[in-house]
Chains A and B, each alone.
Chain A
């Protein structure tokens, strides 16, 4: 195919070609950044927490006032919950997964260390904790009941007697060796805590950008959390969750009426809630990307159709001089390919700079190289698909047209 006549025809129609090219470039830039964000958010919203989410629910329990027998009441409640049919296990804690609320602090390896070795989240649990969340212990052991101490509210500085940490935290603190037998130092308790177990995974309770850097760094401390406001975590047998939610609420009010049970949530609901904006963003971007592709495609169809109409006479003459139908179709295809290729180059530059801007402004990740390449291919194919119909129309112009007028 001879490119010269195509280029010189395009030069006579600079603005039209430029409009299509720029449009394709911006389309490519939005498309690959949009798809990249969608992928990131989808991955994020499916990130496992480590718990048996489908069968775990949370009861926020608030006592009226600060009754002196909190510890006894809590043991009564937990015994009642554990005895309910369909319940695997239950415990009381200070914070739960995907709740966006909890306790965080730095951990140290030695007492004289100034900067912490890692930022972590603290969960309190008795010996029922692992079983109630359905966590997978990969090394060491669960807490013994004699290790579990009372922690009276947030201002109690009773030091923990042992700790179970996540595998990610173990690898961060003790790279290349076993965390078992090692110990941690926490402030403000100023206490050394032996590590007795490692769980495969336990996400921190937050899901925002704030906690992104320490998302998997959790520590479980052997405490009975004695506080007017605690969370009961209940693990049910598969499929029993809805029934147990009802019976648990009823049972707790039977045991003691002087309490407030805020909305009971399953971890599945908590996940939907926590990642709602991420999924929403993905859906909206998906819709915008689809609309964008449609608008660009229709724009190409419209403008190319106009060019065909404008060049009816020339096309007729070319046909009369021996150009085949295929030749005419190929002419418009090549023309579109040249514009789209230029647009794609510009688009890749735009896409990368838009991404760099978002990296610095929104703390987003770098665009993977495959995205601009895929985007360029999509834009080229889109151009070819859109140009096909006007090109076929052009090819159907009869050579006899040249003799008229």
Chain B
């Protein structure tokens, strides 16, 4: 029966080619536009670490006096919390050891001088972190392993490098035990990270959130002692002393702090510990306000930090409104088409087809249109993504690939939406009175 109805649908569509093409084109364009934007939107909001995103938390603490509105400045957030924390708090949190794993970190950089004197020095974006960074974020290793807690304590000159840097400096061979020279200081390579590109770079959204992961990682305490300057966002309030130490012990915020808390109970406990710490700071006179701390897991953090750009949000809204217009359009055309065939339907009804049969026939016709529109939409989506990549910055379009899931989504949205749009015209078709139509002939 289905095959027969399908055949009927195809014959009916062939009979009025112009109307059919208009409908398929309308749906195809609408699906193409909305799918293009949906793909970008999905890629941007993707969970960068799905198996652990509920166990990793960014830590915030209010260490600045609350702003009493009215100042013409920027940077004031409604919850009075900064996205990053100060050195004082970072060190205190590290020493509490209240989480299963924890790391303070910051973005820095260095010039790498190759051992071959003919090669020019080049820039290496570097991250200063604690040993827990690697197991916490499930960083895959190609060679070697992370440094140890003892290296953190001892401020060892050790480095973990990314695969790309290893290819460049050691031609991809196992470099463990060899050294690289960063800003005039030799660092012993202990490990090489295999391909690892969290997008967005959730562990530090303040600095180049769609950028590449760093090429080198050095122990936090080593970086601080070597006065490796922050290459990232740095916000200050209140008194700042002179020099490196003055800056370090100020209330300037430039560190990210992450903890791994496997269970809800762990998270609850950590919240309490944080609040106790803040309360203690209040008692000691450093904070003149009640404790204000917060934990965000990875997904909450992406939301809090607005990783999906406003441009993309606007385009998603516009493209789906556009799809709505296209569907209304197709609905009108379907109505026209079906009512134009009232006589035809009348004959069928007179020959014994019941309303259900007419309804199914027309609905299958709508589904065929939807399917064809979906296929056209897919092609247009590919085209749209190519266009988008050339028009928008790499940060916005990075890794917006088209997956099998997107193909399925596009075709199902198209078929379902077209069937929905076809419901009313189809219902009207089923209402056709056989006697009236036959009389008019």
Question: In the complex, A34→B240 CA distance in Å?
Answer: 46
Chain A 10-47 interface 0/1 with B at a Cβ cutoff of 8 Å (1 = within):
00000110011011001101100110010000000000
Q: By the criterion CB–CB under 8 Å, are B121 and A299 in contact?
A: no
Question: In the complex, A172→B113 CA distance in Å?
Answer: 48
Q: By the criterion CB–CB under 8 Å, are A299 and B71 in contact?
A: no
Q: Which of B212-260 contact A (CB under 8 A)?
A: 227, 229-230, 234, 236, 238-244, 246-247, 250
Chain B residue with Cβ nearest A157 = B242
Minimum Cβ distance to chain A for residue B7 (Å): 25
Question: Chain B residues near A16 (CB, 8 Å)?
Answer: 332, 335-336
Take A104-B74, A157-B246 as given contacts and tell me if A302 and B29 are in contact as well, using a CB distance cutoff of 8 Å: no
How many of chain A's residues touch chain B, expressed as a range? Answer: 35 or more
Take A20-B332, A23-B328, A104-B74 as given contacts and tell me if A262 and B393 are in contact as well, using a CB distance cutoff of 8 Å: no
Take A211-B74, A260-B122 as given contacts and tell me if A295 and B339 are in contact as well, using a CB distance cutoff of 8 Å: no
Minimum Cβ distance to chain B for residue A77 (Å): 16
Chain B 179-216 interface 0/1 with A at a Cβ cutoff of 8 Å (1 = within):
00001110000000000000000000000000000000
Q: By the criterion CB–CB under 8 Å, are B313 and A362 in contact?
A: yes
Question: In the complex, A65→B309 CA distance in Å?
Answer: 37
Q: By the criterion CB–CB under 8 Å, are B240 and A157 in contact?
A: yes
Interface SS of chain B: helix, strand, loop or mixed? Answer: helix
Is A214 close to B, CB under 8 A? yes
Other-chain residue from B70, B111, B230 in contact with A63 (beta carbon distance below 8 A): B111
Question: Chain A residues near B339 (CB, 8 Å)?
Answer: 306, 310
Q: By the criterion CB–CB under 8 Å, are B183 and A64 in contact?
A: yes
Question: Chain A residues near B122 (CB, 8 Å)?
Answer: 260
Q: By the criterion CB–CB under 8 Å, are B336 and A302 in contact?
A: yes
Take A154-B229, A277-B311 as given contacts and tell me if A291 and B19 are in contact as well, using a CB distance cutoff of 8 Å: no
Is A119 close to B, CB under 8 A? yes
Q: Which of B339-353 contact A (CB under 8 A)?
A: 339-340
Q: Which of B109-162 contact A (CB under 8 A)?
A: 109, 111, 113, 120-123
Take A19-B335, A155-B244, A209-B310 as given contacts and tell me if A291 and B29 are in contact as well, using a CB distance cutoff of 8 Å: yes
Is B391 close to A, CB under 8 A? yes
Other-chain residue from A172, A280, A295, A303 in contact with B325 (beta carbon distance below 8 A): A295
Chain A residue with Cβ nearest B309 = A277
Question: Chain B residues near A277 (CB, 8 Å)?
Answer: 309, 311, 392-393, 396
How many of chain B's residues touch chain A, expressed as a range? Answer: 35 or more
Take A209-B310, A296-B325, A302-B332 as given contacts and tell me if A64 and B113 are in contact as well, using a CB distance cutoff of 8 Å: yes
Question: In the complex, A309→B113 CA distance in Å?
Answer: 80
Is A134 close to B, CB under 8 A? no
Other-chain residue from B183, B335, B336 in contact with A65 (beta carbon distance below 8 A): B183
Chain B residue with Cβ nearest A103 = B234
Question: In the complex, A115→B73 CA distance in Å?
Answer: 9
Question: Chain B residues near A154 (CB, 8 Å)?
Answer: 229-230, 234, 247
Q: By the criterion CB–CB under 8 Å, are B111 and A62 in contact?
A: yes
Is B99 close to A, CB under 8 A? no
Q: By the criterion CB–CB under 8 Å, are A188 and B325 in contact?
A: no
Is B424 close to A, CB under 8 A? yes
Minimum Cβ distance to chain A for residue B114 (Å): 11
Take A19-B328, A23-B328, A292-B325 as given contacts and tell me if A281 and B311 are in contact as well, using a CB distance cutoff of 8 Å: yes
Is B321 close to A, CB under 8 A? yes
Question: In the complex, A285→B428 CA distance in Å?
Answer: 36
Question: Chain B residues near A145 (CB, 8 Å)?
Answer: none
A–B complex contacts, Cβ < 8 Å, 18 sampled: A15-B335, A16-B336, A26-B324, A27-B325, A66-B227, A105-B236, A119-B75, A154-B247, A210-B75, A229-B229, A258-B121, A260-B120, A276-B392, A277-B393, A291-B33, A302-B19, A302-B22, A302-B333
Known contacts A20-B332, A362-B313; 5 additional CB pairs below 8 A are A16-B335, A33-B318, A213-B72, A299-B329, A299-B332
